[in-house]
Structure 1
Amino acid sequence: MKYFVVFLFLVTSISSLAQTTEIPTKISGTIITDNTGSPLANVNIININQVTGTTTDSKGNFELAVTQSDTLHITLLGFESLRVRVTNDWIKNKKTTIQLTQKAIPLHEVVISPYYLTGYLEIDSKLIPIKEDYRYSISGLGQGYEAGQYAPEAFGKVLGSIFNPADMLYNFFGKRPQQLKKLREMRKDDTVRNLMETRYDRETISLLLGVSQDEIAEILTRCSYSEAFIKSANDLQIMDAISGCYEQYKILKKK
């Protein structure tokens, strides 16, 4: 009788574990425009929960591994971004059609302000602003990017945040381990990295980390990245910068 109870307990435990651990299954879909029904190629689809991605082919079709209730973030330049929840019906039917709406983008006036040079080096050198930002090498990219002032001040802001519980940097890194784990996972998926390399809107990073674009700028400022870098860097560079700052934070905190 005792062995039967133990056996029954093991069977129940295995069954419970199987129910809670869903195995990803492949689904497919077609993305079209909402006004003409034309298929859209090169649409980016990111599974926010699994941190994997793919793009549509020339006929607007895609395939992606998901589990039920995963959220897909769908983006294409010139179209409104869309978030779609994976339903049980979608998994059963294996295929669905998704419509994207084209953006109405207003054109703003552009003012070009050239530097009026005199021809005298001593005068002209004072007219043109000179950036004093240090050049940093960001992991995995093999290039240098502006990253604020040189050490020790660069590390001072990170170090200061460790001993100040009210500091935003401390609160951000201390309370969002799962989001930062997603950020690290994004670096492993080539489709996601290629997408991030072409984006400058911070939308995907904001969604994954659960923060606003203003907070992203504040985080990078606290990590001593320059305003020029924060404004001009693509999303992949921003992602690597935040990841690098987090690694510095962990090392300094241990010390």
Structure 2
Amino acid sequence: AAAARQHIVDGVDTETGEVLEDHTENFGNESNSPAQATAPAPELTVVATMPLRHRVLAQYIGEGEYLYHVDASQKKEILRLEMDTDNSYVQNLLLAAENVEAFKKAIEHDIHKIVNAVKKIFPVDGKTPELATVIQFLKTWFETEHIDRGLLVKEWAKGNRVSAIQRTESGANAGGGNKTDRNPDYEHTLDTLDVEIAMATLPMDFNIYELPGSVYRRAKEIVKKKESPFKEWSAALRATPGILDYSRAA
């Protein structure tokens, strides 16, 4: 063995000229430093692997930032919030999430978006929303097309509890969130607009706020048969951006 070693100089066998592999490993000083040897690796938990409540709270404490994972201190804060029964805002959010089927099946990015939407509509430092109101918003948000969710949040933030974002045939926002002279419990849509347009084409006089049954039935018939001049007015008004925000009297 000693003789063999004499033939090897700088990794080359002087007898054969063969370059020998260097099987030694270079452990740099930095990897063996005492600081690295003693520093504990951060304990991270992937949010998607956590229970639903914790996934909701992870995005809640993110302050607008999407959290892919949480560290030990963040996890501790999540557990604290979950157990804080005096925090009605958080408890209502958790209960609402558990009562909306679409929420329970949601991916993390959607949970992030909807939690932050809730915080925008109902500021944490403001009045705590009722559980039923939060559930209503969550259901509406998931039922709304992705492209319209931003508009939905804006309407709700203004206090307009719309159940959908309606669009004209050209794709413009048809409105419907602003208060008009209609009953606040009345859901005004492009279809109900057609009935109002049909009534406006009738020759008789009547109180538009106390509609006679005969007038309403005749208007429905006009819509169904697409009679003129109703169908021309309908085509024009349905294409008008914000048309649902106009009062009935207009």
- TM-score bracket for this pair, using the shorter chain length: under 0.3
Question: Taking structure 1 as the reference length, what is the TM-score of the superposition?
Answer: 0.16
| Greater length-normalized contact order (CA 8 Å, ≥ 6 residues apart) | 1
- Larger proportion of strand: 1
- Larger proportion of helix: 2
Larger Rg belongs to? 2
